[in-house]
Chain A
Amino acid sequence: DSGVTQTPKHLITATGQRVTLRCSPRSGDLSVYWYQQSLDQGLQFLIQYYNGEERAKGNILERFSAQQFPDLHSELNLSSLELGDSALYFCASSVVPSAVGAFFGQGTRLTVV
């Protein structure tokens, strides 16, 4: 158990819909990262938050947004979903600096039908 909790574990939804993925980081970790993993793309960095502020952005689509709340949990919002958004979405957390390593949740498997 990494200490990072992601909900839900599985999500099936239709194209055009909007979903919210939730992440609770390890106790004491201020940094939260979101990654997307699909079969042909590997682990793609989406966005990082540190203590409530956005700190780094990767190849995140404009249809996607995220935030980190005062209690440090984070949510990733995916809207106008397309078939190609089907993937595993991982949240990771780390102490600062993350050079010591990040701890991943079990992921949310999103299937868009």
Chain B
Amino acid sequence: TQLLEQSPQFLSIQEGENLTVYCNSSSVFSSLQWYRQEPGEGPVLLVTVVTGGEVKKLKRLTFQFGDARKDSSLHITAAQPGDTGLYLCAGAPSVKTNFGNEKLTFGTGTRLTIIP
């Protein structure tokens, strides 16, 4: 079973501060995805990282995939109240038992609150 642990579980910071959220596993993934979910809504895909060591930027958000493809981080610069939400990482398996079988394993989530 592939497990993804996210830390911290909860984070509350002031507007304008920087923060980093971590997603760790002992398993190797073919890709790692980050989602943001707001209350009562479905998760929304933010980014997918595929190559070990890959860094992707989405405005003030920077995503990095670990060299060994077992972990990832999300860094937010100058956080804004609109960044508030539940951040979820998800991993696609590196070993596919058969074509089309690609269960996404979701992390435990980081609930982020940005205080104005």
Chain-B contact segment, one of A12-20, A70-78, A79-87, A102-110? A102-110
Is A55's CB under 8 angstroms from B31's CB? no
Q: Which of A1-60 contact B (CB under 8 A)?
A: 2, 4, 30-31, 33, 35, 42-43, 45, 48, 50-51, 53, 55-56, 58
Is A106's CB under 8 angstroms from B48's CB? no
Q: B116 in the interface, Cβ–Cβ < 8 Å?
A: no
Is A99's CB under 8 angstroms from B92's CB? yes
Question: Which residues of the other chain, A, contact B100 by a CB distance below 8 angstroms?
Answer: 30-31, 50-51, 53, 55, 96
B interface, by DSSP: helix, strand, loop or mixed?
Answer: loop
Q: How many pairs of residues, A versus B, come closer than 8 Å at their CB atoms?
A: 78
Q: A98 in the interface, Cβ–Cβ < 8 Å?
A: yes
Complex interface bits, B94-115 against A, C-beta within 8 A gives 1, otherwise 0 = 0010111111111111000000
User: How many chain A residues touch B (Cβ–Cβ < 8 Å)?
Assistant: 32
Chain B interface (Cβ within 8 Å of chain A)? Answer: 30-31, 33, 35, 40-45, 48, 50, 88, 90, 92, 96, 98-109
15 residue pairs of the A-B complex, CB under 8 angstroms, read A4-B42, A33-B103, A45-B103, A48-B102, A56-B102, A90-B42, A98-B92, A98-B104, A99-B30, A99-B50, A101-B45, A101-B48, A104-B42, A104-B43, A107-B42
Chain A interface (Cβ within 8 Å of chain B)? Answer: 2, 4, 30-31, 33, 35, 42-43, 45, 48, 50-51, 53, 55-56, 58, 90, 92, 94, 96-107, 109
